[in-house]
């Protein structure tokens, strides 16, 4: 396991700026698991990534509340939120479309129910509330793709 890299955000705007730096480093095929309590900024980050990529949301085969697809041309970004769901409940819900697209970027909040279906090389982003607008974001990589992404993002804030 690789060491943890820590980012800091002092505002929702700064988290969106981090999302922009992150988006600029995506090549397609990245998987990100976002963890942390409600209100930590996970969704702010995901929306910031989609916005930075100039993507629009479009219909998905899976339930809208669980998965939202953002698209630009042939590029797909899937935003998943499995809050309060269990592995048994997400099995067979229509995630095949997403998993078959090897170049899709997958950003999942409350990702545990999906973990066994997903490749191991994924970036874990752990959000912690440290004050009204202060957030700590810990990055942990589990393979070469997520490692490069984590280091690139960390360097953008520590140059």
Ligand X SMILES: Nc1ncnc2c1ncn2[C@@H]1O[C@H](COP(=O)(O)OP(=O)(O)O)[C@@H](O)[C@H]1O
Cα dihedral: 137, 138, 141, 146 (round 10):
20
Distance CA 65, CA 22 (A): 24
Distance CA 116, CA 106 (A): 15
Q: Does 47 bind Mg ion (CB under 5 A)?
A: no
Q: Which residue number, 38 or 130, has a Cβ lying nearer to Mg ion?
A: 38
Contact yes or no for 22/149 (Cβ under 8 A): yes
* Binding-site string for ligand X from residue 101 to residue 120, where x marks contact by CB under 6 A and - marks none: --------x-----------
Q: How many CA atoms lie within 13 A of 67 on its CB side?
A: 22
From the list 19, 21, 33, 42, which residue makes contact with ligand X (rule: CB under 6 A)?
A: 42
Distance CA 86, CA 60 (A): 21
* Binding-site string for ligand X from residue 54 to residue 83, where x marks contact by CB under 6 A and - marks none: ------------------------------
Q: Does 6 bind ligand X (CB under 6 A)?
A: no
Binding site for ligand X (CB under 6 A): 9, 11-12, 14-15, 36, 38-44, 109, 127, 133, 135
Binding stretches for Mg ion (CB under 5 A): 42-43, 109
């Amino acid at each position: 396991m690789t060491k943890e890299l820590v980012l800091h955000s002092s505002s929702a705007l700064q988290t969106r700026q981090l999302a922009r730096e992150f988006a600029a480093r995506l090549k397609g095929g990245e998987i990100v698991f976002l963890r942390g309590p409600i209100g930590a900024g996970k969704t702010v980050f995901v929306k910031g990534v989609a916005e930075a990529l100039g993507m629009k949301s479009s219909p998905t085969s899976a339930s809208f509340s669980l998965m939202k697809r953002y698209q630009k041309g042939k590029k797909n970004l899937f935003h998943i939120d499995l809050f309060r769901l269990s592995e048994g409940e997400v099995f067979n819900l229509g995630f095949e479309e997403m998993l078959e697209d090897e170049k899709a970027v997958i950003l999942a909040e409350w990702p545990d129910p999906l973990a066994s279906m997903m490749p191991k090389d994924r970036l874990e982003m752990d959000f912690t509330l440290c004050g009204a607008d202060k957030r700590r974001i810990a990055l942990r990589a589990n393979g070469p793709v997520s490692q490069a992404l984590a280091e690139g993002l960390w360097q953008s804030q520590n140059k």
